[in-house]
Amino acid sequence: MFIKQLYTGCISEAAYYIESDGIAAIVDPLRDIEEYLELAQERKTKIKYIFETHFHADFVSGHLDLAAATGATIVYGPGTVTKFPVHVAKDGEIFEIGKLKVEVLHTPGHTLESSCFLLKDENGKDHAVFTGDTLFVGDVGRPDLAQKGNEITMEDLAGMMYESLNTKILPLAGDVIVYPAHGAGSSCGKNLGPETSSTIGEQKQTNYALQPQTKEDFIKVVTEGLAAPPQYFPINAMINKEGYESLDAVLEKGLQPLSIAAFKEKAKEENMIILDTRNSALFTQGFVPGSISIGLDGRFAEWAGSLLPFDKPMILVTEKDKEKETIVRLARVGFDKIEGCLEGGFEAWQSAGETVDLIIDVEADELAMDIPFDQNLVIIDVRKEAEYGSGHVKDALNIPLSSLTDPGSMADLDDKHNMYVHCAGGYRSVIASSLLKREGFHNLRNVVGGWGKIKELPDKFEIEKDAEVLN
């Protein structure tokens, strides 16, 4: 028996490779499937099954491309309806992988078709359970992702989750390994722990959702405090259900090198998005006017999915040799309208004497010196509401980055304002500044180091906390 967790940190996603006697299965693969194919080739195995725990909302799965490449059967849980061929498993159905067996445990709650896959070793003993978004380390899957057109409520799904956990998960032995689909940072739950695996016994002791409680109490505890899901979640779930263009086709179109002249012509097209994926520190020093900055050095795919439109064409400015990585990471969350990359990157644009825009970087102490003397100064804090509430500069305007593209989010801003934009460390504030620039706000300053640097100067800033945090 051989099991390997294949973890992708930028989207906090775990896929799994299971193998016995030359036969392998993949659980919850990403859209870029090379790693699975290379592993199977290296170990001289045949991928027989692709087990999908549910219709993922936070990434586009690799089930279709992997099935096409290997001939493997795609397996979903009971009640699944798709527009492509899959094996819809029955609750309790057994699949053989060499000397191993995998039992389907239908566990509705996160979604209706959500299922866990219980792996039994060569002796028939329960060894591990691949829990998808049903059970995480320290948390359970959010129950508010019912697809549009479905009359089921968040409370209905939470009630189903309670029954699933109590009838299918809690009865498992304490030494059974828990392999979830996500780790910390994922928006598929609200309190995921830092570890990417655990055991049933550990989770019974430490996971708030697995403590003895009534169904009513469970529904309350798992539904309260849920932040709104990112805008791309329903889009990705639909893509996974209905199918998608192959990644190879997306790469072929997206990797087209665009000369400066061709890039400029495309940039003039209606609704064209210019995405610059260079490090945020490079972006502020100079960029193609109208570009949106989302650097590969952060949670790139998640922010792209949260802020960019899926139905608009896109052209890219990347660092050298980062073109393919950029397109693959965009494709992971469903972007497929990428029409090329600026040949030679920003350096070529700048060397050709083309117009360049920039964002002024300032240190936190410079902001502190400007506050008493500038009547038009506005501090824009783009951290999440909870981050802002736990401590912020007095009178700072909180516009969370995730809401900055919402209609009316910039209604209180005026270009006469001297805007100082910050987040926690600097990544999100550069994204926000690029969005503000694109909307015509040019009197901007990016606070380098963000809140991390501001709070190091308590004598220079008046800091406030929200009342509910203080209590």
Q: What is the pLDDT of residues 167-201, one digit of tens each?
A: 999 999 999 999 999 999 898 888 788 999 999 99
pLDDT (0 to 100) of residue 270: 92
pLDDT band at 148 (very low <50, low <70, confident <90, very high): low
- Convert the pLDDT of each residue in 94-137 to its tens digit: 999 999 999 999 999 999 999 999 999 999 999 999 999 999 99
Judge whether residue 418 has pLDDT over 80. yes
Q: How many Å apart are CA 18 and CA 27, to the nearest integer?
A: 8
pLDDT (0 to 100) of residue 152: 87
How would you class 27 by CB atoms within 10 Å of its CB: exposed for 0-12, middle for 13-18, buried for 19 or more? Answer: buried
- Convert the pLDDT of each residue in 334-365 to its tens digit: 999 999 999 999 999 999 999 999 999 999 99
pLDDT (0 to 100) of residue 151: 78
Helix (H) or strand (E) holding 436: helix 427-438
Judge whether residue 150 has pLDDT over 70. no
pLDDT (0 to 100) of residue 415: 84
Judge whether residue 419 has pLDDT over 70. yes
Q: How many Å apart are CA 54 and CA 116, to the nearest integer?
A: 9
pLDDT (0 to 100) of residue 471: 40
The percent of residues above 90 in pLDDT, for the chain, comes to: 90
CA angle (53 as vertex; 48, 59 as ends), nearest 5: 100
Q: How far is CA 386 from CA 141, 258, 399, in A?
A: 21, 42, 12
Judge whether residue 391 has pLDDT over 60. yes
pLDDT band at 287 (very low <50, low <70, confident <90, very high): very high
Long-range (24+ apart) CB contacts under 8 A made by 260-264 are 260/342, 260/343, 260/348, 260/349, 260/352, 260/354, 262/340, 263/315, 263/340, 263/342, 263/343, 263/349, 264/354
Question: What average pLDDT does range 138-159 have in this prediction?
Answer: 85
β-partners of residue 136 are 139
pLDDT (0 to 100) of residue 184: 92
Domains with residue ranges and CATH for the chain? 2-235 (3.60.15.10), 245-277+292-343 (3.40.250.10), 360-470 (3.40.250.10)
Q: Closest by alpha carbon to 16, among 178, 210, 203? A: 178
pLDDT band at 470 (very low <50, low <70, confident <90, very high): very low
273-276 sheet: strands from edge to edge:
257-258, 338-342, 314-317, 273-276, 292-293
- Global confidence as pTM: 0.92
User: What would the two tokens of residue 389 be?
Assistant: 């509430």
Chain length of the chain: 471
Q: Which amino acid is at 418?
A: N
pLDDT (0 to 100) of residue 149: 53
How would you class 346 by CB atoms within 10 Å of its CB: exposed for 0-12, middle for 13-18, buried for 19 or more? Answer: buried
Question: What average pLDDT does range 410-415 have in this prediction?
Answer: 88
Q: How far is CA 60 from CA 21, 177, 284, 298, 438, in A?
A: 30, 26, 31, 19, 28
Under 8 Å CB-to-CB from 345, ≥6 apart: which residues? 278, 317, 318, 319, 320
Judge whether residue 330 has pLDDT over 70. yes
Under 8 Å CB-to-CB from 156, ≥6 apart: which residues? none
Q: Closest by alpha carbon to 233, among 188, 273, 300? A: 188
Under 8 Å CB-to-CB from 467, ≥6 apart: which residues? none
Provide Rg for the chain, Cα atoms.
24
Q: Which amino acid is at 122?
A: E
- Convert the pLDDT of each residue in 31-70 to its tens digit: 999 999 999 999 999 999 999 999 999 999 999 999 999 9
Q: How many Å apart are CA 257 and CA 260, to the nearest integer?
A: 10
How do 198-199 and 177-180 pair as beta strands?
A: antiparallel
Residue ranges of the alpha helices (H) in 200-295? 200-206, 215-223, 233-242, 247-254, 260-267, 280-285
Q: What is the DSSP letter of 373?
A: G
Question: What average pLDDT does range 151-166 have in this prediction?
Answer: 94
Q: Closest by alpha carbon to 255, among 344, 323, 331, 335? A: 323
pLDDT band at 147 (very low <50, low <70, confident <90, very high): low
